[in-house]
A and B are shown apart, each in its own frame.
Chain A
């Protein structure tokens, strides 16, 4: 530790390295490591960032955006001290954000528990067929019964031939799993909880319509009579549980939007979740996950941990729309990504490789070695077991159906997770790695099961990858290969470049990447010794390339970074994050919704185009003016300090809060010109002292070119 702490203490010196060199400051001469840093810096042609912008720059890169007051806080603390703190998130109290996400119980559930509480169609079918039993808990029971009633209604409709008459909707739902997320998000645009929005299927035959109308009328009468909504939350919840499954479904049909919010108003989290699950159980899972991600990014004080969790999730992307992955992603982020976000790459890589989420997403759980027992003898029979071996010879048809070697995951490990596409591997290496990973599977994925190694699906014999021979030893083969890949020089370069793209620029300097890669992979004799990411990030932080003037605001914010930074800059108080989830959907960056394993691009060109720009401007205006449902933006939160004397002063103060005062003369002049407009000044002829519309000004600043970058 002392070796690493010392340079950190000296980071202040490093930052001013060029100036120190010129001035011949004593301190720089008295310390060897500072001198080394200085000479490193002097090789750089690019001038460093001006001193007063350094804190803003660091905040822009190591957090999701500058909150009002952040610059002062970091200044008081010292930049190096601050980074050190961010690198040890466990030492930062984060109870404020924990309180905000506490109502989301799914965040603490295992995949299995989620499947139980928010059942997918498979589970409902299993209950219907008697393969599983109905839960006893009255809340769960209410969910199951209503979902089954809905399912039966759909089946009935299919039998009536209505569904098959128009095949198009079926095409959309089955072609891409995304629409379920999409509908959930478009619903959320109105600011409501995800599940309550969903239109339960509308009845189709006249008879069904009539029946439903009757039920709804009856319920209206009942609701009006008993005034369901007037009841205290506890009684209201009980009343809903007492309803018949059909009545509960009808309730969902009738109560949409604002009304739906009233139904769950004041309920405890598990009660709210139960009501939402009655309407659409799976939307609860995805909705809470996405909301928690946003709330953490906006409110957590462990900002670097959030940034790195986001980075690694994107690197090891999985897609919420792929079958049971919906239930697995929570545990994936919580137990696989986050604990290793600042740790060691090998641990992270191995954890992803053994996660049900990844194994399902990239199909490895189904991959079967062509010469494995499972391929040759089927699921039950074993070869050479005396009388039990009733079928000594494999049956060709069956063998064929089970011999699926799936290369998908093996390819992506090399191409996207470790070596990079130019990392020096061949199609043969991919196939061999796929064989190594046969048997890495999941116990009952549809029920949220855990990782299991299935020896019978594992391809026997030695494998040859990247010029090495991997001897036959089952599950260990995969672990050995992951270890090799994690420590490969190509991996060090590939990951370092990607990190530099996140933290420095779209085309980071090779010198920087090389320096980071060196830290990433320290060779100690024959033993590869890998430092954790803390060290790689420290190297980055100490590099002159990071502090070069042309790195300042060089990164275009992704939609996620834009939305989160706007919420942070405006001091928004978010009670319901679903509208933000919907915003990101419209901006082409749905949370957990990236289907290809590449993850989202970090480059500007992916996100700068006309419609994206319009979306950003509109969001900025909506947020600033306090019109985003579920979110409060108070002028007091926008403007700290004493109330500005006039519109000019308000503009200056808001520029200070939202852009740390660094706004171009052009942008400032354009906004200044609009200040006299009645929409901004809010002044009428006889009312000279009316305060200007801070929200409108804030919206304009957040939509400005300056705010699109970090």
Chain B
């Protein structure tokens, strides 16, 4: 199946090259299509900012201590006909709002690593996110992100400007570094002076200005920017419809993932993508089967499941990994919430992922 697709893309590329004068960026886009095709791997990194409560997301319903420590916010043991944990293996269960993940689990595309996290003991969101994103716990001086370093280790000459993309207004720390990375809020707005088929006068002028600028920072970013604008224009993002069954929920996270899928499927050479979802810092009124945690896990799981469906065959060569800066206290606090703790759940998804399994040593919740 993947071979067919690749052959098709190659033929498509040749057809374009053969019939018209093709600008260099488009040729690159076509070659990039090769790299985006199955066979070339992609990594999508999703960050849950605010320290998600892993214990209420993948629930250790087999632990008596879990219920003892969380009298008002625990997720009930799996029980038919009631809002309760969705059982996975007799000991762990999914939060009931995460029904979208159950099929992925059953198909063994979804793996869970529980009680995982940074070895650093900080309980500051700021520090912990910084360590998670730099990939160097305890070392504040690291100036690039782990994902950027991973790309540096595999340098690619003439790489697509979309090799590394982040959804959002600002480039996240994870992708900061010497390998160019693109941050975008909205694919459609990724242009200068109008969306017409041809670049505007202003666009050309700015391109030349930044191209010739001696300001090293702005020169570099400017070049990446205009290269990316051209490629995106050729990919015609206005005409995107997600695959059947890919129902992205409303909200920023769903929008981000829809656009990640869009970029990948437009064959722009995306190798790594990053998106984040915030609001997990539930110190107060966290909720249980309903409430804040339920709403957020629902949005989270539905968005990812939609991305998975949308990617179709490409999911085979894609890995999705999630993380959060740290976990939360086992005990609920006096405000029906949880405070900062350590250890959390990470999700892994992919065609080649040995899913349907929970990885890691479960230390237990006992004292």
Interface residues of A (CB under 8 A from B): 167-172, 174-176, 179, 363, 366, 368, 375, 397, 400-408, 411, 415-416, 421-422, 427, 556, 586-589, 595-598, 604-615, 617-618, 621, 664, 666-667, 669-671, 673-674, 677, 679-680, 696, 699-700, 703-706, 708-709
Contacts and interface: CB of A to CB of B under 8 A. Distances in A.
Contacts, number: 196
25 contacts: A172-B252, A174-B292, A175-B295, A363-B335, A366-B335, A375-B334, A401-B72, A403-B334, A415-B124, A421-B140, A427-B121, A556-B217, A609-B181, A609-B221, A611-B190, A613-B218, A614-B192, A615-B169, A617-B193, A621-B192, A671-B209, A703-B206, A704-B206, A705-B210, A709-B215
B214 A614 contact: no
B127 A172 contact: no
A612 B202 CA distance: 16
A366 B283 CA distance: 10
Contact of A168 (B182, B283, B299): B299
Give the residue among A174, A407, A679, A699 with the most B Cβ atoms within 10 A: A174
Interface string B228-270: 1100000000000000000001111010000000000000000
A171 B219 contact: no
Contacts of B126: 415-416, 421, 596-598
Contact of B217 (A604, A606, A674): A604
B205 interface: yes
B185 A586 contact: yes
Given A596-B126, A609-B182, 14 more contacts: A176-B279, A401-B72, A403-B334, A405-B334, A407-B340, A408-B339, A421-B126, A606-B171, A608-B218, A617-B193, A617-B202, A621-B193, A669-B212, A670-B208
Interface in B128-182: 140, 161, 168-171, 176, 181-182
**Chain B interface extent, by class:** 35 or more
A676 to B, nearest CB: 11
B217 A608 contact: yes
Contacts of B298: 167-168, 171
Given A404-B335, A670-B208, A611 B183 contact: yes
Contacts of B169: 586-589, 611-612, 615
B353 interface: no
Q: Is the interface of A mostly helix, strand, loop or mixed?
A: helix
Contacts of B299: 168, 171-172, 175
A368 B334 contact: yes
Contacts of A366: 284, 334-335
Interface of B: 71-72, 121, 123-127, 140, 161, 168-171, 176, 181-185, 189-193, 201-202, 205-206, 208-210, 212-215, 217-219, 221-222, 224-225, 228-229, 249-252, 254, 277-279, 283-284, 291-292, 295-296, 298-299, 302, 333-336, 339-340
Contacts of A403: 334
Contacts of B184: 610-611
Nearest to B130: A421
A408 B283 contact: yes
B124 A421 contact: yes
Contacts of B205: 670-671, 674, 700
A358 B207 CA distance: 45
A172 B295 CA distance: 8
A595 B229 CA distance: 30
A613 B222 contact: yes
Contact of B209 (A611, A615, A666): A666
A354 to B, nearest CB: 21
Contacts of B224: 610
Contacts of A589: 169
A679 B201 contact: yes
A608 B176 CA distance: 11
Cβ-closest 3 pairs across A and B:
A404-B334, A588-B169, A168-B249
A580 B336 CA distance: 39
A553 B223 CA distance: 21
Give the residue among B168, B206, B213 with the most A Cβ atoms within 10 A: B206
Contacts of A611: 169, 182-185, 189-190
